């Protein structure tokens, strides 16, 4: 018990870093995902080919290798970033690639008739997307976003390998210093679980709220 009290400040600081990594890279991943997903829908070739390459590279290679690459190889060509920035950058690009596909497929899932209606009402494309198409596509995206948020929370442990003292890394350091791996790793285990719960709850609430009103749950009269 004494040991727990002694290590808790370190674990909490690690947990704080994990949360910060998740929030920053998660927000950036959403921005990247929406930008890339929408840009690919525009079907301009000079844009969509490089973006397709980006997505496939980041989806089909190991995230760990991506992190190492950015951390160790970029400095060789003169780009020096802090470890935290590098970690967020790679996680944002990696998850952004997945999210862009979620965004793209959710938007493609919206009925062609909705696009037709916006044209018949003389809406410009940007307005049509902003007011009609994207608001309907977001409820389609939410379950996948929830999954990726949880994945991201856990994936932040990868950046421990580029010297960022997040939750997993601080635990590993504590084990080296104090021993007691069972207790310490069990605490980490529980902390990850506690961090995940609000994400799950948030996602549930969002799913309920958005679209809840208009989804046809009552049979039409």
Partner 1 sequence: MDHQSTSASQAPLAAEFVNVSKSFGAFTIIDDLNLQIRPSERVSLIGPSGSGKTTILRLLMTLERPNEGEIKVFGDVLSAGGEGAAKARPDREFRAIRGKIGMVFQQFNLFPHMTALENVMEAPVQVLGTQRQEARDLAECLLKRVGLAEKGASYPSQLSGGQQQRVAIARALAMKPQIMLFDEITSALDPEVIGEVLEVVHNLAHETKMAMLVVTHEMGFARDIADRVIFMERGKIVEDASPGEIFNSPRNDRTKAFLNAIKR
What is residue 1's DSSP assignment? -
**Dihedral sign, Cα of residue 8, residue 10, residue 15, residue 20:** positive
CA 153 to CA 146: how far, in whole Å? 11
Q: How many CA atoms lie within 13 A of 84 on its CB side?
A: 11
Would you state the structure tokens that stand for residue 90, as one six-digit string? 């790679």
Using CB under 8 A as the binding rule, the residues of this chain from 132 to 171 that contact partner 1 are 132, 135-136
Min CB(134)–partner 1 separation in Å: 10
**The binder of partner 1 chosen from 35, 51, 83, 123 (CB under 8 A):** 123
Residue 211 interacts with partner 1 (CB under 8 A)? Answer: yes
Is residue 186 within 8 A of residue 37, CB to CB? The reply is no
Among 47, 73, 117, 202, binds partner 1 (CB under 8 A): 117
Smallest gap, in angstroms, from Cβ of residue 212 to partner 1? 11
Nearest approach, Cβ of 52 to partner 1 (angstroms)? 25
Tell me which stretch binds partner 1 (CB under 8 A): 6-14, 49-57, 87-95, 106-114: 106-114
Tokens of 42: 């525009």
| Whether the Cβ atoms of residue 153 and residue 199 lie closer than 8 Å to each other | yes
Residue from 2, 44, 60, 122 touching partner 1 (CB under 8 A): that is 122
Residues of this chain that interact with partner 1 (CB under 8 A) are 111, 113-114, 116-117, 119-124, 127, 131-132, 135-136, 211, 213-218, 220-221
């Amino acid at each position: 018990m004494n040991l727990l009290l002694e290590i808790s400040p370190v674990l909490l600081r690690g947990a704080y870093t994990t949360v910060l990594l998740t929030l920053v890279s998660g927000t950036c991943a959403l921005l990247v995902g929406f930008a890339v997903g929408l840009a690919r829908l525009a079907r301009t070739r000079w844009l969509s080919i490089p973006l397709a390459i980006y997505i496939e590279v980041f989806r089909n290679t190991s995230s760990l290798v991506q992190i190492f690459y950015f951390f160790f190889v970029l400095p060789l060509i003169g780009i020096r970033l802090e470890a935290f920035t590098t970690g967020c950058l790679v996680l944002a690009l990696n998850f952004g690639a997945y999210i862009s596909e979620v965004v793209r497929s959710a938007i493609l899932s919206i009925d062609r008739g909705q696009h037709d209606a916006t044209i018949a009402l003389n809406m410009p494309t940007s307005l049509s997307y902003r007011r009609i198409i994207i608001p309907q596509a977001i409820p389609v995206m939410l379950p996948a976003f929830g999954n990726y948020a949880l994945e991201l929370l856990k994936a932040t442990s990868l950046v421990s390998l580029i010297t960022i003292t997040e939750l997993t890394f601080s635990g590993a350091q504590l084990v080296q210093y104090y021993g007691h791996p069972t207790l310490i790793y069990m605490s980490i285990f529980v902390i990850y679980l506690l961090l995940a719960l609000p994400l799950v709850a948030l996602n549930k609430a969002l799913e309920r709220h958005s679209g809840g009103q208009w989804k046809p749950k009552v049979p039409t009269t």
